[in-house]
Structure 1
C-alpha cells in the first residue's frame, strides 16, 4: 500500500512538473504535432499516476495482496514506457521511439486487468 501511494505521489508530482514544462518552456520550441504528442504523454501520465494512488487505497481497504501490487507495477511500467517514449519522441523527433509506446499501452491494459481480477477475488 505505502509503495503504491508513494509511487503514485511521485508520478503525479512529475506529471504536473512535466506538464508545466511542456506548457511553458516548450510552447514555442515544438511543432504543433510534437506538442500534441507531448501532451498525450502528460495526460496518460496523470491518469495512471492517479491509478497508482487508487491501487494504493484499494490495497489499504482490501489488503495489499500481490495482485494489486503487481497491477501497480504494470501501471508504473506503462508510465515509463508509454509517457516516457512520447516525451522523448516529442523532444528529439526520433520517430523510432514511437515503437516503444505500444509496449507501455500493453502495460497499462495489463495493470487494469490485473486490478479487476484482484477486485473480483476480494
Structure 2
C-alpha cells in the first residue's frame, strides 16, 4: 500500500468527518433527540480518530500492510456510516434496522487494524 493512497484516504475521511460534524451540530441539532445526536457524534468522532491514525501511518516511515489499511478503511465505513444511517433513518421514521449488526462488525475491524499495527511493529 503506497503512502500516498493512505494519506489521500485519511484526508477524505478527515474532511468528511468535519463536514458530518458540522452537519450534525447545525442542520440536525434541532431535528435529533439528545440520544440521536450523541450517537451521530460518536460516528463522527471515531471516523476522525481513525482518519488521523491513517494520516499518521501514511506520513510515517512505518510500512503499513494492505490488511491494516483495509481494516481501518472498511472499519470506518461500516462503523461510522452505519451509525449515520441508523440515526438519519430514525429521524425519517424509517429506521434501517439491518444496519444495527453492521456497526459492531466495523468496530471489530477497527480493533483488528489496531492489533495489526501492534503486530507489525514487531
The reply to whether TM is greater than 0.5 is yes
Report what 1:43 is aligned to: 45
Q: Give the number of the structure whose residues are more often helix, by fraction.
A: 1
- 1-side partners of 2:104 and 2:19: how far apart? 24
Number of residues paired by the alignment?
115
- 1-side partners of 2:37 and 2:88: how far apart? 9
Report what 1:98 is aligned to: 100
- Gap regions ≥5 residues in structure 1: none
Shift of 1:96: 3.8
TM-score under structure 2 length normalisation: 0.88
- Gap regions ≥5 residues in structure 2: none
Instruction: Please tell me the root mean square deviation across aligned C-alpha atoms, in Å.
Output: 1.2
Deviations along 1:16-72, whole A, 9 cap, x unmatched? 0000000000010111111111000001001001011122123xx13x35x2x3212
Q: Secondary structure at the match of 2:100?
A: helix
Report what 1:114 is aligned to: 116
Matches within 5 A, 1:1-122: 1-58=3-60, 61-62=61-62, 64=63, 67=65, 69-93=66-90, 94=95, 95-120=97-122
